[in-house]
Structure 1
Amino acid sequence: MTTATPPRATPGGLALGFLTGGVIGGSLAAFIGGCIVGKASLVVTGLALPAAYGLLFFLGTLPRRARDRAAVPRTALAMIESREAVAGEATEVPVRFDLTVAPDDGPAYRVAIRQGVHLSELPDYRPRGIVVVEYEPERPWKVRIVTRPTPAWEERAADAHLDSAPGPAMTGDARKGCVGGVLTVLGLLFGAASVLLLSGADPFGPDASGAAPQPSGTVVSSTTTVTSSTTVTSATGTVALGAGRSMLDQGELRTAVESLTQDAENRRALTVVVQERLLTIVFAPAGGQVAGFDPRALPFDRVAALVEDAGTTLGTGSPQSWQLTADGLTGRLTLRVMVTGDRGAGSLEADGQGNVLRRNGS
């Protein structure tokens, strides 16, 4: 066997990172810009772009995934150099193993893998112990410990003595380094800038007269104070709070919603998005037959409790950011709270009265 080298960043992988950044930046710019200026085409582009990219990526990787499924793994003995439990659950823990794999037809090599192990079986995987593994000949870093080997291999493992192979241990992670990270960021910026240029206007910038251009028939009101700013168009409304204030403060969210709806008693909303210091409402078209809801009917007194619930019960670690989205596109008001922390992201779903329906942890 010719031992392959672990995966490294390739020009194709770096280009894929740049393209992924471009799709992310372009879709975000299109969606947010479309909501602000009231252009449905930009909003649709922002939603359709990542979906189309995901479909193309899925179709493009079908041949590789088919080859992976067709690959026949080989069996070998391995020695556990070290082990480390990464995290814990009720009955199974993911463990990081550092192994010396000794194929029958090639030189021994070191590899680092992560595999779930039942708590009752963890003492069986002690350092310097011999285990039976399966690996892919073309990708020897793809190793899996066989928990129930055949009697013949179990006997070989019981009688075997292996020497440690020199490190460092191979892993299956392709490391792009600084170049890959820079290209991804550049792709994100390039995608956002391309959408703004192709749309023919900068939705975030004023024109020469100092006022943002609006579509025909749009009524705009804008007020700015030291602590907050409010902008209302025929399609959207936003309230941005100043430093030191939060939408979770007592009465803050209710006041912000009322400031966007005070001039239109029967104005209905398609979506309401609430963040720490930002409120955005996407209004239903006037006179349209699109389902919506009265944003003043939100369970304001339950919002802070829902955000706190999501930050403490979803296993995301120390909360770093949150977002509440309320929509009535289906005719039934639904609240979704998404939180991110130092251990991942999670979401919580509630009904129109603020009663929790389900939780999705990280």
Structure 2
Amino acid sequence: MTTTTVAPPTGATPVDLARGFLTGGVVGVSLAAFVVGCTLGKVPLIVAGPALLAAYGLLFRLAGAPRRAREGALAPRTALALIDALEVQKGEETDVPVRFDLTVAPDRAPAFRIRITQDVHVSELRDHRAGAVLVVRYPPDRPWLVRIVKRPTPEWEERAAGAVLESAPGPAVAADRQDGCAWSLVTLLGVLLGAAAVVLLLRAELFGKDTDASDGRSASVTSSSTSTSTSTVTSTGTVTGAVTSSASGTVSFGPGRSMLDRGALRAAVESLTAGGAGGGDGKSALTVVVQEQLLTVVFSPAGADAPAFDPRSLPFDRVPALVEEARTTLGVDSPQTWQLSAERLTGALTIRISVAGAGGSASLEADGQGVVVRRSPAR
């Protein structure tokens, strides 16, 4: 019997490693883009993540089409094989993996020994024993991909029943490819680098959402002294004016920041009230006005008997929900701007939120706990 040695591929080639790294990078970018898009509420990122993965999968399949066509053009070779040894491994109830040491004896070609693992139904285990002859099939250009034919044709079944084969000399070559950990490590590295690239590109928007306004990165705090004058009419019709000095403070945000960001409004107010930074006693305010990127606090003069309130007592956690309610429930089409004003002119703290847009303007009022008490829809 003429024999030969089959040498299946062992280990990952540089091309395999490069393909694994690229695949990992695409997976990392896609997953990170989807997660970051959901976090930031950006629909393009949410769509781009799965779309990139689908496009890469399609490209990968198209790139392998010529190779699959070449392999499909070669008809598989059928041959007889002798079971030199076998080992039944643990598996499911119906199909169990069995490791076979086979001597494959193709027609008009040298015999070779190969070790494969294939699932066998438990009812067919008795037909697979050492010394039995089976029918196998494999691609002629890749003989290590040997598979046992479970239902051979009558001609081959008759040949296997009457065949007498001898075991080929030498050890059986393992057909299972051993890539080792290199491919897995390179792929994992690609996933991590791809995800890190997306996070780094969007770090300003991603981490800026939860950063307090007091970090000074894109907010500016100013306080200024102003004068307000009041005039009264006496019973004689003469006008007398009284001027009292007061102070106001402002906080302005740069692009990409909003007073509606989590913790931003609270931090902005505290930056003006801490240590009397806003003038007066540093705590009592006559009015508080909030816009998208601007906060203005008019403080009560020290010793003045005015209906003031502590701006730190505002229901900060309710403000984003109140603004959203004003935008969506008051009948203003395409609202473009909003403004919140808080004061105590009527004795109780009143919060008024106004919105304006193409469909006109509207407002709602809430109490000191952020509970809506009055709505004025657009007309």
TM-score scaled to structure 1, two decimals? Answer: 0.54
Distance 2:72 2:216 in 1: 59
State the secondary structure of the residue aligned to 1:201.
helix
Residue 24, structure 1, aligned to residue 27, structure 2:
yes
Does the 8 Å CA contact 2:6/2:112 hold for their aligned counterparts? no
Do the aligned partners of 1:132 and 1:149 also contact (CA within 8 Å) in 2? yes
The 5 A counterparts of 1:50-199 are 50-80=53-83, 81-89=85-93, 91-104=94-107, 105-115=109-119, 117-158=120-161, 159-173=163-177, 175-199=178-202
Aligned in 2, Cα 1:55/1:151: closer, same or farther, shift over 3 Å?
closer
In structure 2, how many angstroms separate the alpha carbons of the residues matched to 1:147 and 1:165?
26
The aligned residue for residue 260 of structure 2 is: 219
Equivalent of residue 36 in structure 2, options 7, 15, 33: 33
Q: Structure 2: which 5+ residue stretches go unaligned? A: 219-254, 265-316, 330-379
Deviations 1:153-210 (A, max 9, x none): 334433313215433533243x332332221122112211222344463624759964
| One of 43, 46, 71 as aligned partner of 1:43 | 46
Amino acid paired to 2:152: P
Task: Determine which structure has more spread, i.e. the larger CA radius of gyration.
Answer: 2
Structure 1 pair 222–78 and aligned structure 2 pair: CA distance change class (3 A): farther
Comparing 157-166 and 59-68, the one that deviates more: 157-166
Match of 1:5 among 4, 7, 19: 7
Cα offset for 1:141? 1.5
Residues in 2 aligned to 1:41 and 1:221: alpha-carbon distance in whole angstroms:
23
Once the two structures are superposed, residues 305-326 of structure 1 have per-residue CA deviations (whole angstroms, 9 ceiling, x without a partner) of xxxxxxxxxxxxxxxxxxxxxx
Aligned residue in 2 for 1:320: none
Mapped contact 1:101–1:111 kept (Cα < 8 A): no
Structure 2 Cα separation of the partners of residues 128 and 218 of structure 1 = 81
Q: Secondary structure at the match of 1:219?
A: coil
Distance 1:98 1:200, change over 3 A: same
Sort the Cα spacing of 1:220 and 1:7 in 2 relative to 1 into closer, same or farther, 3 A: same
1:261–1:208 distance in 2 versus 1, CA, 3 Å: closer
**Aligned residue pairs: how many?**
232
CA contact (8 A) 1:6 1:171 kept: yes
State the Cα distance separating 1:16 from its structure 2 match. 0.8
Q: Shift of residue 39 of structure 1? A: 2.4
Aligned equivalents of 2:139 and 2:159: distance in 1?
A: 20
Preserved CA contact (<8 Å) 2:104 2:113: yes
- Is the 8 Å Cα contact of residues 80 and 135 (structure 2) preserved in structure 1? yes
Query: CA RMSD, aligned part only?
Result: 3.8
Q: Which amino acid aligns with 2:260?
A: V
Structure 2 CA distance for aligned equivalents of residues 212 and 121 of structure 1: 73
What's the offset of the Cα at 1:43? 1.8
Gaps of 5+ in 1: 224-259, 268-284, 288-362
The residue type equivalent to 2:193 in the other structure is F
How far apart in 1 are the matches of 2:103 and 2:166? 8
1:261–1:20 distance in 2 versus 1, CA, 3 Å: farther
- Write the letter of the residue equivalent to 1:196: V
User: Percent same amino acid at aligned positions?
Assistant: 49
For residues 164 and 193 of structure 1, the distance between their equivalents in structure 2, rounded to whole angstroms, comes to 54
TM-score (norm. length: structure 2)? 0.52
Counterpart amino acid of 1:170? A
Partner of 1:336: none
Query: Which stretch of structure 1 is more off in the superposition, 65-74 or 12-21?
Result: 65-74
How much does 1:37 deviate? Answer: 2.3
How big is the shift at 1:72?
0.9
How far is the alpha carbon of 1:68 from its aligned partner? 2.8
Hey, what's the Cα distance between the residues in 2 that align with 1:127 and 1:218? 78
Q: Residues 209, 262 of structure 1: CA spacing in aligned structure 2 closer, same or farther, 3 A cutoff?
A: closer
Kept in 2: contact 1:33–1:204 (CA 8 A): no
Task: Give the Cα separation in 2 of the matches to 1:20 and 1:163.
Answer: 43
Determine if contact 1:76/1:103 at 8 Å carries over to the other structure: yes
After superposition, give the CA deviation of every residue in 1:296-347 in whole Å (9 maximum; x if it has no partner): xxxxxxxxxxxxxxxxxxxxxxxxxxxxxxxxxxxxxxxxxxxxxxxxxxxx
Measure how far apart 1:263 and its partner are: 7.3
CA distance in 2, matches of 1:88, 1:149: 25
Aligned-partner residue type, residue 132 of structure 1: V
Residues 263, 139 of structure 1: alpha-carbon distance in 2 compared, 3 angstrom cutoff: same
Indicate conservation of the 8 Å contact 1:34/1:41, yes or no: yes
